[in-house]
Amino acid sequence: MCVFCERFGDPEIGGGLWYLNPRNYGRQLYRRKRPGAAPSEFGRGYRGAATTADPLEIRNDTPDKLPELVNTWWANLDKTRPAQVIPLEDAIKVAALVHPFASMMCECRLWTRAREERNEAVYSCGGLGAGMLKWERWPERYKGGINFMSYEETKEWLIKWNTKGMVAILMTYGAPYVGGLCMCDYPDCGMIRMRLDVGVGCLKSHHVAIVDYDLCNGCGVCVQRCQFGALKFEISTDKAHIDQYRCFGCGVCATGCPRGAISLKRREEIPALAEVW
């Protein structure tokens, strides 16, 4: 069980997974602020620039201080806005759970690649919950607008991006309030990049990928799809190998495998990986 499941999961709902607990969608929105109280943690540091600047400066100029930063971040998970990688099946379950679900322009790719997604066909970022109704009120601020989708459309949208090789990441805006479900890749996506390069930002999923060596024929498709550098193709055995410690359990390799040789296994079933997040 990850930190979130222990604190925010319900053992009777969705097998204890925190993101399948409906309580975590919109909890913060219904909390009334006391008059004169300080602004809540919700929404604080929304601007990506403000939250990513400091770790990157440390990584660039004084990398010796990085372990300290990483330890502080992990000790204060509930005060930051962490994300978690989830496999496609769980993303579809989340889509069934929440309403409304809307796709929109990815702000990470706008920053790193100046890629402007200005129509429904290319929106790769997903927002969910009642917070989306706010974006609709501010079409000018939210560049390109947003596209509200039904459950069937959301499912198609998730499968479309998964087929292209994007990883589903559940974004929290002040844990455990879930506000987004983005389809990300490395290095353009900020969350994956912060985790791989700096060590903060997002948690691994509750799964790890396992290769069935009897079925694997060494075609190498999965190696191209891995965004985390966990997969490598070994020439001498003619099989794909997964570094389980680096595996984030997104399942993108499994959906791309033409022979169905890769399957996802729960992290808890492997003792060495049970506490690796």
Q: Which residues bind another protein (CB under 8 A)?
A: 47, 49, 52-53, 56-57, 59-61, 63, 66-67, 70, 74, 110-115, 138, 140-141, 143, 187-188, 193, 195-199, 246, 276-277
179 φ/ψ angles, rounded to the nearest 5 degrees: -125, -10
Smallest distance, Å, CB 193 to another protein?
7
Q: Which is nearer to another protein, 52 or 154 (CB)?
A: 52
Q: Is the sign of the CA dihedral 116, 176, 270, 200 positive or negative?
A: positive
Nearer to another protein, 123 or 277 (CB): 277
Q: Phi/psi of residue 23, each to 5°?
A: -60, -30
In the complex, the smallest distance separating the C-beta of residue 59 from another protein, rounded to whole angstroms, is: 5
Q: Amino acid identity of 138?
A: W
> Would you give the end-to-end CA distance of the chain in angstroms?
10
Can you name the residues that pair with 149 across neighbouring β-strands?
101
* Assigned token pair, 127: 């927002």
* Least CB distance to another protein at residue 2 (A): 12
- Return the residue matching tokens 């930190």: 3
Instruction: List residues bridging with 104 in a β-sheet.
Output: 125, 146
Distance in Å, CB of 138 to another protein, minimum: 6
CB of 49 to another protein, least distance (A): 6
Whether cis (ω within 30° of 0) applies to the bond prior to 187 is yes
Q: Which is nearer to another protein, 187 or 260 (CB)?
A: 187
CA distance 23 to 92: 18
Nearer to another protein among residue 32 and residue 141 (C-beta): 141
**Residue nearer to another protein on the CB measure, 47 or 259:** 47
Backbone angles phi, psi at 45, to 5 degrees: 65, 30
Identify the CA nearest to 86 among candidates 141, 18, 173, 3: 18
Minimal distance, residue 114 CB to another protein, in Å = 4
Cα 189 to Cα 204: distance, rounded to the nearest angstrom: 15
- Nearer to another protein (CB atom), residue 243 or residue 269: 243
Largest CA distance in the chain: 68
Query: Least distance to another protein from the beta carbon of 67, Å?
Result: 6
Which residues does residue 262 pair with via DSSP β-bridges, in sequence order?
211
Considering the complex, state which of residue 52 and residue 255 has its C-beta at the smaller distance from another protein.
52
**Smallest distance from the beta carbon of 60 to another protein, in angstroms?**
4
C-alpha distances out from residue 7 to 178, 204, 248, Å: 14, 17, 21
Q: Please, which residue, 175 or 194, has the CB nearer to another protein?
A: 194
